[in-house]
Structure 1
Amino acid sequence: MPEAVIIKDTDNKQKIKIILALAVPAMIENFLQTVVGFVDTLFVSNLGLNEVAAVGVSNAIVAVYIAVFMAIGVGTSSLIARSVGAGQVDQAKAIARQSTWISVIAGIIFGLATLFFAEPLLRIMGAEPSVIKQGVVYFQIVAIPSVFLALMTIFGSILRAAGNTKTPMKVGIWINLIHIVLDYVLIFGLFDWAGGGIAGAAWATSIVRIIGAIVLYLYIRKSKLSFSIWKGSASEYTMPLLKLSGPAAAERLIMRFGQVLYFGLIVRLGTDVYAAHVLAGNIEVFSYMPGYGLAIAATTLVGQHLGAERKQDAYQYGMLTAWIAVVFMGVVGVLLFFFSPLAASWFTKDKDVIHMVTTALRIDAFAQPFLAIGLVIAGALQGAGDTKSPMYSTTIGMWLIRVVGVYVLCIYLGMGIAGVWLSITIDLIIRAAFLLYRFRKHMHVRQTLQ
């Protein structure tokens, strides 16, 4: 895939090819990351429940770090895509350099916070005393070098914004394979060495992040966006990057904290209901893969075409990508509806829990087209430089619709797990409608690029 995708692409068939060329590698990369997460959990589960809990609570904090790094990536993707579309390669390089420095600073700040406050942070997350000792070991090894996680995230965003989604996919494949091998060896040992247990799992994660950051940077150095990290600063892009990244970071943090609140309400329904909800979520996560991949394509294509002052094409790409996502995820919905009992039986033999997981996933099956629209149009808006609308939709959806919905449908009306997933579905429908409205309005009124 060429780094710039601005070509004479007037017919829909050609547009679909371009969209899929960008989206499919991103889908594969996301899928592999999810699979490796399952493998990682499987290996750690052989050490004991305390180790599983330690990794889980540590990763819940790291997820907040990642949310900030991804938000910086959103701002980077938006500005670079528009610069590439406008043919302003030097500007794109300057933005890439400055976003790299911003991510380095963020990574160092989070690393220092982990170094000095690891134990208090784990206590705040509610970790039991028996978990904290192991948790501090894992958390510090994984999160003190957060700068490499930040760099890996931002370098991937730079390449994708230029239209190159294949390279992050290839790098992702290799580092995920290396991660599985390192995970096994460093946890369980090799020959006479007994392995490092939970510390080994942490070192495997940190090592592959360092490798990933270095390899992605070497690929950038071979690309049209090649820049030297050490060659000066481009401070004039700091505020535009922060202006775009701020709402994106807020959106992700609002989502994380909102999940904590409405998960707390679900726990009140009973352990079996909460367990069923978690299992349904673990199965449903695979349905996000097409949406995430197509959202990346939408961000890149909308941004580049706006940069080239081709607003109509930008709008068409956004809408066409959304409808492709609806098709993909509509198929996923059909699979969820018919195969949810089988999928649930892989995780538990409890018939009541299987029934609840099936109920949840069959409700979710009807929500898949709306989830598709929400994911892709949010990406399209971010490519157009509007990171506030996705933030508003997440705030309303998570804190008002889901929290109130779970309270009313589950606790007040006693609908159980069906009420939880009906609340999620209502949120996704309203969110899709709101984002579509904002995208159409944004593309209609936008006259010049800021």
Structure 2
Amino acid sequence: MESKKAQTLTLFALAWPILIEILMLRLMGIADTFMLSHYSDNAVAAVGFSDQILAMTVMLCSMVTIGTTILVSRYVGAKDKHSASEVTRVSISLNFLFGLLLGLVLVLFASDLLRIMGLPAELMKDATIYMVIIGGFTFIQSLMLTVSAVIKGHGLTKQVMYVMTGANILNIIGNYLFIFGPFGIPILGVKGVAIATVASRFIGTIALFVILKKRIGESIPLSKLFRFPKHHVKNLLKIGIPSSVDSIAWNLQMVVITIFIALIGTTALTTNVYTTNLRAFITMFSGALGQGTLILISRKIGARKMDGAYAQSMHIYKIAALVALCVAGIFFLFSKPLLKIFTNSPDIILLGSTIILLTLLLEPGRAFNLVFNNSLKAAGDVNFPVLIAILGMWFISVPIAYILGIHLGWGLIGVWIGFVVDEWVRGIILMRRWRSRIWEQKAEELEAAKS
């Protein structure tokens, strides 16, 4: 068995590039909004509204990409290059076709979807243009997500970080050119932002394919591109579909809880927006460690090192919880100055700093939950953590949010207490599942499906 130090270094080597990648994505999103706000407030609203629909396409494409990372990591651990190559080819082909289909739907029904969701008429033109351009090239994003999942599965998280960072910088440059129009470049507004996004994703996808060829030695012959071995498709969807159900349940939960917060009042709603934005930077760390865990445990299980996988996960969760606690503590210490970036309201700053104090309890629980959730998924025990997630969201988080936040009048603090209890209860249940080692049987079943 590897020493704890070696395990930590291995986790760090995988996780820090993922952390930087997530950080860059969030910073670039803020930069996008900031630049577009200098063009038009309506443009910001139109793009933001459209992104709510377009985000669903990422979630749907993740049905394949989550399974891709796990299976490729597992086959790399087993030194089964042929199966890793087959999964790569099947994943790329499947998500490319899926991206084309989603793109066609978005192009044909963009205005209808926006209208159904209640978009104000004055935003319709910009939002439709943005959705048609971005949505029409969904296949590029689906390829980008899939190839990056393959490369991460081979442990090359640093290379993905470089490409994603470069693509986002190109996107910012493109936005600047089309929004501010230097050097006589036409000012295209929302259309220009969409063109810049598609162009940067296209260049990023090409770069990822180059890495796939040069660093991994993976080539995809056109003659084999659209062949779909049944067992690989089955395994990809067996892992991916439940994970997507998890994401859908989370999004629906947040819709309901946002309605509760709106009932509490404008101050609570505004505070929640600001604190959620700040929390997004706190959760980056546990998110990166969670992805690192997924790769590490998948590789251990692929190499048939069940005891090593068990011990590694039990060690990682302690690291993840400690890191989450430290990061949340730093954000709490600077919570008031950070909130003052968004607002001068003393009520919002006081409430927001109290909510960020709660993250000292929330984030270690979330890290705890994430590590065992991803460990079980890596072992092929996918349905159990998804079931626990849905039950936790709808029978712990939502009821507590209503009882404490609305019924007992604790407001936003009561809502966030619901999040805390949910994360810790789920984490404890998933840890008990991991300790039971039932997942070893699931890992064997997934392996048997290959033959």
TM-score normalised by structure 1 residue count: 0.95
Structure 2 residue 72 is the aligned partner of structure 1 residue 76: no
Change in 2 beyond 3 A, CA 1:436/1:126: farther
Unmatched 5+ stretches in structure 1: 1-8
Task: Within 5 Å, give how 1:272-291 maps onto structure 2.
Answer: 272-291=267-286
1:118 and 1:247 map into 2 onto residues whose CA distance is 27
Q: Which runs of 5+ in 2 are unaligned?
A: 447-451
Q: Matched residues in 1 for 2:257 and 2:272: separation?
A: 12
CA distance in 2, matches of 1:316, 1:77: 21
Q: CA deviation at 1:124?
A: 2.6
User: Within 5 A, what are the aligned runs for 1:13-412?
Assistant: 13-224=5-216, 226-228=218-220, 230-232=222-224, 233-236=227-230, 237-412=232-407
User: Among 409, 429, 444, which residue is 1:448 paired with?
Assistant: 444
Contact 2:175 2:193 in 1 (8 A): yes
2:449 equivalent in structure 1: none
**Per-residue CA distance 1:388-417 (angstroms, 9 max, x = gap):** 233223312322222212211111111111
Instruction: Compute the displacement of 1:66 (Å).
Output: 0.7
1:306 offset after TM fit, Å? 0.7
Judge conservation of contact 1:95–1:234 (CA < 8 Å) in 2: no
The alignment partner of 1:439 has SS state of helix
Does the CA-based 8 Å contact 2:376-2:439 persist in structure 1? Answer: no
Sort the Cα spacing of 1:445 and 1:91 in 2 relative to 1 into closer, same or farther, 3 A.
Answer: closer
Match of 2:292, SS state, is helix
Instruction: Name the CA distance, whole Å, in 1 between partners of 2:229 and 2:217.
Output: 18
Check 1:374–1:359 CA distance in 2 against 1; reply closer, same or farther (3 A cut). same
User: C-alpha separation between the residues in 2 aligned to 1:426 and 1:137?
Assistant: 42
Number of corresponding residues: 442
Structure 1 residue 220, shift from structure 2 partner: 0.6
Preserved contact between residue 78 and residue 299 of structure 1 (Cα < 8 Å): yes
Q: CA deviation at 1:449?
A: 5.0
The letter of the residue matching 1:211 is I
Higher relative contact order (CA 8 A, sep 6+): 1
Deviation track 1:260-310 (CA, whole Å, cap 9, x = no partner) reads 121122111112211100110000000111112111111111111111110
Contact 2:368 2:424 in 1 (8 A): no
What amino acid does structure 2 have at the position aligned with 1:51? A
**Matched-pair identity in %:** 29
SS at match of 1:346: coil
Displacement after TM superposition at 1:319 (Å): 2.1
Tell me whether 1:439 sits opposite 2:431 in the alignment: no
Q: Deviations over 1:154-201 (max 9, x none)?
A: 111101111111110111121121111111112221222341111111
Match of 1:3 in 2: none
Q: Tell me the C-alpha RMSD between the 2 structures.
A: 1.6
- The 2-side partners of 1:125 and 1:436 are apart by 39
Match of 1:427 among 422, 429, 446: 422
1:251, distance to aligned residue in structure 2 (A): 1.0
User: Following the alignment from structure 2 to structure 1, what is the Cα–Cα distance between the partners of residues 314 and 376?
Assistant: 11
Distance in 1, Cα, partners of 2:97 & 2:429: 35
Separation in structure 1 between the aligned mates of residue 320 and residue 212 of structure 2, nearest angstrom: 29
User: Who is 1:5 aligned against?
Assistant: none
Q: Shift in Å at residue 444 of structure 1?
A: 6.2
Indicate if the aligned counterparts of 2:70 and 2:295 stay in contact, CA closer than 8 A: yes
Measure how far apart 1:147 and its partner are.
Answer: 0.6
Letter in 2 for 1:235: P
The whole-number CA distance in structure 1 between the counterparts of 2:445 and 2:77 is: 12
Secondary structure of the structure 2 residue equivalent to 1:356: helix
Structure 1 CA distance for aligned equivalents of residues 370 and 116 of structure 2: 31
C-alpha separation between the residues in 2 aligned to 1:349 and 1:229? 59
Question: Cα distance, 1:379 vs. partner?
Answer: 1.8
User: Which has the higher mean CA deviation after the structures are superposed, 14-23 or 41-50?
Assistant: 41-50
Check conservation: 2:92, 2:143, Cα contact below 8 A. yes
Corresponding residue SS for 1:134? helix
Question: How far off is 1:441 after superposition?
Answer: 2.6
Task: State the partner residue of 1:4.
Answer: none
CA distance in 2, matches of 1:225, 1:248: 30
Tell me the CA shift for residue 227 of structure 1.
2.9
Structure 1 segments, 4+ long, off by >6 Å, are none
SS state of the match for residue 126, structure 1?
A: coil
